[in-house]
């Protein structure tokens, strides 16, 4: 009897340990069991142009398809939707003169069904986006991600924001379709047609980015990540965003608000690889295009009005 009680008591911490996992409800507690989560080089951060410095050594990154035969698999981890890439792509030029990084997976962070504001992990000038995509890669010096993940600068993650648009993003749609098949935790689905990640992100988008040294944004929070956050967001429709918000975790609760609060930049350097003038120029260019588009629309609606008036008069005269 005594030994039974003893065994039971001894087992309690084990049971608690094994059933208690981390959650997004109490990110402040992560550091209790994962000491790195309390470190000084943590992610995500608030990215501010005014805190960044221009680094001419950072070149456009390129994404190359290495093995197109690897099938894409989507997986509900209980925390996110993950697209396993299994080395189908490699990243080149991440670090000046550095090695290639092998693509392991893509996953997402988002908010909750009534929140179209919060969701991204990184903030840009204090603003969030509704969803952020992370392309996770590891240095080709290592044989796999597990060997790499706790070593300095052994991981490179590309963060891409999404903003909401009226039109669905056709390149994202195969992934959104697959989400229906992975509602429950641990469910997997193999896609017949793989996602064209290269076209989805786009070569041009990989040209302008912010760079800093940071961490995994979930426990164990290893400070091993070369972070690249792209300046230009991608687009998706409301409907596509909703696809992510109906996945379930192991308690059959919605997977929602899967973003860690921002961490202090501290003494770290935030770099950017584009010059201020280019950036301002592009913004002005975009604004000009918008104005032309808008005035185009105004002219169109004006013409429509005239047409209606004309046909009305014709009708009366007739």
Ligand X SMILES: *[C@@H]1O[C@H](CO)[C@@H](O)[C@H](O)[C@H]1NC(C)=O
What residues line the site for ligand X (CB under 6 A)? 49-50, 115, 117-118, 125, 192
* 62 versus 177: smaller Cβ distance to ligand X: 177
- Minimum distance between the CB of residue 290 and ligand X, rounded to whole angstroms? 19
72 neighbors 103 (Cβ within 8 angstroms):
no
Q: Which residue shows structure tokens 């998706």?
A: 236
- Minimum distance between the CB of residue 131 and ligand X, rounded to whole angstroms? 14
* 115 versus 213: smaller Cβ distance to ligand X: 115
- Give the angle 59-61-62 at the CA atoms, nearest 5°: 135
54 neighbors 274 (Cβ within 8 angstroms):
yes
- Minimum distance between the CB of residue 153 and ligand X, rounded to whole angstroms? 29
* 19 versus 50: smaller Cβ distance to ligand X: 50
- What are the beta bridge partners of residue 248? 254
* 19 versus 192: smaller Cβ distance to ligand X: 192
Positive or negative: CA dihedral 173, 23, 233, 36 = negative
- Minimum distance between the CB of residue 73 and ligand X, rounded to whole angstroms? 13
- Minimum distance between the CB of residue 3 and ligand X, rounded to whole angstroms? 51
* Alpha carbons 274 and 231: distance in angstroms, whole number: 10
Cis check: omega of the bond before 170, within 30 degrees of 0 = no
What are the structure tokens assigned to 205, written together?
A: 């988008």
* 125 versus 166: smaller Cβ distance to ligand X: 125
The DSSP 8-state label assigned to residue 194 in this structure reads: -
78 neighbors 299 (Cβ within 8 angstroms):
no
* 138 versus 259: smaller Cβ distance to ligand X: 259
3-state secondary structure of 187: coil
- What are the beta bridge partners of residue 157? 136, 227
- Minimum distance between the CB of residue 260 and ligand X, rounded to whole angstroms? 12
């Amino acid at each position: 009897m005594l030994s039974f009680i003893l065994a039971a008591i001894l087992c309690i911490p084990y049971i608690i340990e094994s059933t208690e996992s981390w959650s997004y409800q109490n990110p402040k507690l992560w550091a209790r069991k994962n000491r790195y989560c309390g470190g000084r080089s943590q992610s995500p951060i608030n990215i501010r142009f005014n805190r960044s410095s221009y680094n001419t050594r950072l070149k456009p990154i390129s994404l190359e398809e290495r093995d197109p035969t690897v099938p894409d698999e989507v997986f509900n981890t209980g925390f996110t939707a993950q697209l396993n890439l299994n080395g189908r792509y490699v990243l080149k030029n991440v670090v000046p003169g550095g090695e290639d990084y092998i693509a392991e997976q893509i996953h997402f962070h988002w908010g909750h069904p009534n929140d179209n504001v919060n969701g991204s992990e990184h903030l840009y000038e204090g603003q969030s986006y509704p969803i952020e995509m992370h392309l996770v890669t590891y240095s080709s010096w290592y044989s796999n991600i597990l060997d790499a993940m706790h070593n300095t600068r052994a991981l490179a993650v590309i963060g891409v924001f999404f903003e909401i648009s009226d039109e669905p993003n056709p390149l994202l749609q195969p992934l959104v379709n697959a989400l229906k098949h992975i509602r429950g935790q641990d469910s997997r689905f193999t896609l017949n047609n793989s996602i064209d990640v290269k076209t989805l992100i786009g070569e041009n988008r990989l040209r302008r980015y912010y760079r800093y040294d940071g961490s995994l944004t979930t426990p164990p929070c290893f400070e091993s990540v070369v972070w690249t956050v792209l300046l230009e967001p991608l687009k998706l429709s409301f409907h596509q965003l909703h696809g992510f918000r109906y996945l379930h975790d192991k308690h059959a609760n919605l997977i929602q608000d899967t973003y860690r609060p921002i961490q202090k930049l501290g003494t770290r350097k935030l770099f950017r690889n584009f010059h201020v003038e280019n950036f301002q120029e592009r913004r002005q260019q975009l604004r000009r295009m918008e104005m032309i588009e808008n005035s185009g629309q105004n002219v169109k609606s004006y013409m429509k009005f005239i047409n209606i008036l004309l046909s009305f008069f014709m009708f009366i005269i007739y």
